[in-house]
Amino acid sequence: MLNLLALGFALANAVLAIGNAVVENNCDFPVYLRSVGREVSPAFYLRPRGGRFSEPYSRDPTFGQALKITLGPDDVFDPTRPQTVYGYTLSEPFIYYDLDDVRGNIFAGKRLVQRSTDDSCPSNVWPQGVPVEPHVHNCRDSEADIILTLCSAQRGLYYNIWEL
């Protein structure tokens, strides 16, 4: 009986285990982030050189999630302000993720790296802080974190073909 309970808990934990969408700010300026899906979160302040945001992947099967990064706390609502968007969709066992800019390039001249903690998954690397195709990837490990590092010093484990 005890073994069946232990097995039940182990299986429940395995089903519940998912990774996190993470944003790290290594830039010398602050940024703001809002998590947008069915609802829009309050603005999170990411301080310069060390600000960090993390959320478990949303399990909503009909909507993806967008982490919208801006220079002002309410820029998401201003149709003239630029945004960098880290999008993801959980479809277990896959996590689909992308990186894109809307209405301009906040990080022009700064390296952006979006990578998985699972080294077998591809990375998005923007060497000059502007979109490089292709920018949509998937990873068969939805337990792995996908980390976007703003103003990154690292090159990432996999490069876009245009960077080589």
Look at residue 12 in the predicted model and tell me its pLDDT. 43
Burial of 136 (0-12, 13-18, 19+ CB in 10 A): middle
Q: What is the mean pLDDT of residues 39-58?
A: 97
97 alpha-carbon distance from chain centroid: 7
Look at residue 133 in the predicted model and tell me its pLDDT. 77
More confident residue, 102 or 16: 102
Give the contacts of 37 (CB within 8 A, at least 6 positions apart): 58, 60, 63, 64, 65, 66
Residue 130 has pLDDT above 70, yes or no: yes
Q: Which residue has the tokens 């998937």?
A: 138
Look at residue 155 in the predicted model and tell me its pLDDT. 53
Sign of CA dihedral 91, 97, 101, 107: positive
Q: Which CATH superfamily is domain 20-150 in?
A: Thaumatin (2.60.110.10)
Look at residue 3 in the predicted model and tell me its pLDDT. 52
The Cα–Cα gap between 80 and 70 comes to: 12
Contact assessment for residue 107 and residue 27, using Cβ atoms and an 8 Å cutoff: yes
Give the model's confidence band at 65: pLDDT under 50 very low, under 70 low, under 90 confident, else very high: very high
Whole-number Cα distances in Å, 113 to 12, 77, 81, 90: 33, 26, 22, 20
pLDDT digits (tens, 9 = 90+) for 73-128: 999 999 999 999 999 999 999 999 999 999 999 999 999 999 999 999 999 999 99
Residue 157 has pLDDT above 50, yes or no: no
